[in-house]
Amino acid sequence: MHEILLADRVKGEREIAVFRLVIFGATAVLIILMALTGSGFNLSDRANLAAIGLAVAYTLALLSAIQRFGYHRGYGYASATVDVILISVSTYLCRYATSSSVASIVSTSSFAFYFPIILFSVRRHDPANTLFTGLLSAAAYAAMIVIMQVEASFGVDMTAPGGLVIRNDLFNEALKAVVLALTGFVGHAAAKRFDKLFEDALTAVREKEQIKDMFGRYVSDELVEKILAKEIAVAGEKREATIMFIDIRNFTPLAEAVDPRTLIAILNNFFSLSISTITKHGGFIDKFIGDAIMVVFGAPEPNARHGEAAVACAMELAEALGTMQAWVRSLGVEWEFGYGIGINTGEVIVGNIGTDRRMEYTALGDAVNVASRLERLTRQLERPILVGEACAAACRADGEGRWLFDGPYSAQLKGKSEPIKVYGVKAAGAP
């Protein structure tokens, strides 16, 4: 976020620089045109052109410094000071050139020249700078009033084109200085609000990018949109879900026997078949662990029949992976492809875990550990798919006779004081 904010500060300072060049450039053109069509250049015109030259030189130097050395907060304060001083000096000199049309125009509206300087400072994403600009403008304008009062300049008639008579009034001019100071405070509040909205927008964009990175590749687009719309919560919570672990058997001997390209091709084909099947049944791929996959059913999107969905996914996946053996042999690899799937239902904690640099949505809890150990147990019991007792019970109630469960098998799992019951599963009507 800091990098984006800094980039926008640089952009804002450049926009202010362009604005400065446009304003002073337009003033220079006006001075030259009026001088050429009038009585020539007077002292005020020459002084204003010199001030404009300084403004242009400063702007070019500032842009060069930003390009070479990067942006620094002090540049904003230097720019505000230069802008206010140049406008104040130009205004003051114009008041002493009553015969100049430019002087008359500036004398009637010099107060307004400070406002864009104050308001544009909001683009620096520095509320203190906006307040500084407003107070400095008020101080400069007040100083000009004091100087003119000492000089007895107030009360001097100044004739503008068309016979308009401008008469300075001490109270009104002092009130203008107060308004400039108040504008600084208002701008300060607006800048803080603007920065808050800007940071909130950046945070929202970052959250969307994180969500798309965490979910976009392995779940449906509809689910991603629901998460982005906050229809589905991804904050930490307890929830009953079904966890599935899928692992390739005898993968280590394969890795030692084949070249890396062939190994990656086998893995990618396995993952491709698995991901498409998992996504079809509403599973969320929590993570890849080497040649294994951890999948969550029932989170982040709620699913009252998550156990049934997990078993249905496992059965279809078993059918899809049945083609892997022939495909591996077609690569000239003599290796017996096999897999193990462990499924367990229970209460887990799900949510985003990590830091700003790396965040992932995952499931934690005893039910996860049991599912992982059931997958390992498939080798000992020589069953490709093993299901925990709670999941098997849910499938018997909701599965409408789609599957047959054999067992129960009593298994003593690491970390469990008592043996648990596990079941093998096959499609109804299968031999």
Do the domain assignments include residue 145? yes
CB atoms within 10 A of CB 283: 30
- Domain hosting residue 27, numbered range: 2-211
User: Closest Cα partner for 245 from 203, 288, 207?
Assistant: 288
Residue type, 293: I
Given 155, 178, 211, which residue is the final one in a domain?
211
Predicted pLDDT at 408: 87
Residues 188 and 248 in one domain: no
Number of domains composing the chain: 2
pTM for this predicted structure: 0.54
Of the candidates 211, 246, 275, which is a domain's last residue? 211
User: Which mean pLDDT values do the consecutive 10-residue runs of the chain (431 residues) have?
Assistant: 66 83 82 75 77 88 86 86 84 60 48 80 84 90 76 49 48 79 86 77 66 55 58 70 91 83 88 88 86 88 88 90 84 84 91 67 86 89 89 75 80 79 74 50
Residues 261 and 182 grouped into a single domain: no
Assigned domain for 228 exists: no
Instruction: Tell whether 59 and 28 lie within a shared domain.
Output: yes
User: Are 269 and 340 members of one domain?
Assistant: yes
In this structure, what CATH number is given to the domain that contains residue 352?
3.30.70.1230
* Same domain? 156 vs 285: no
Q: Find, among 219, 359, 373, the residue nearest to 297 by Cα.
A: 219
Reference 214, options 142, 271, 286, 138; nearest CA is 286
* Whole-angstrom distance, CA of residue 397 vs CA of residue 391: 10
Token duo for residue 267: 């893995």
Domain termination residue (choose one: 158, 180, 211)? 211
Co-location of 145 and 69 in the same domain? yes
Rounded Cα distance between 331 and 324, Å, is 11
How would DSSP label each residue in 259-290?
-HHHHHHHHHHHHHHHHHHHHHTT-EEEEEET
- On whether residue 302 sits in a domain, the answer given is yes
**Judging by DSSP bridges, how do beta strands 359-364 and 420-427 pair with one another?**
unpaired
Do 204 and 248 belong to one domain?
Answer: no
* CA–CA gap between residue 258 and residue 83 (Å, rounded): 71
Residues 161 and 310 in one domain: no
Predicted pLDDT at 41: 75
The pLDDT, as a whole number, for residue 345 is 93
The verdict on residue 87 lying in a domain is yes
The Cα–Cα gap between 327 and 269 comes to 9
Residue at 77 is within a domain? yes
Residues 246 and 191 in one domain: no
Element of type H or E holding 384: none
Residue pair 104/166 in contact by the 8 Å Cβ criterion: yes
191, 150: one domain? yes
Contact 386, 423 (CB under 8 A): yes
Whole-number pLDDT of residue 342: 93
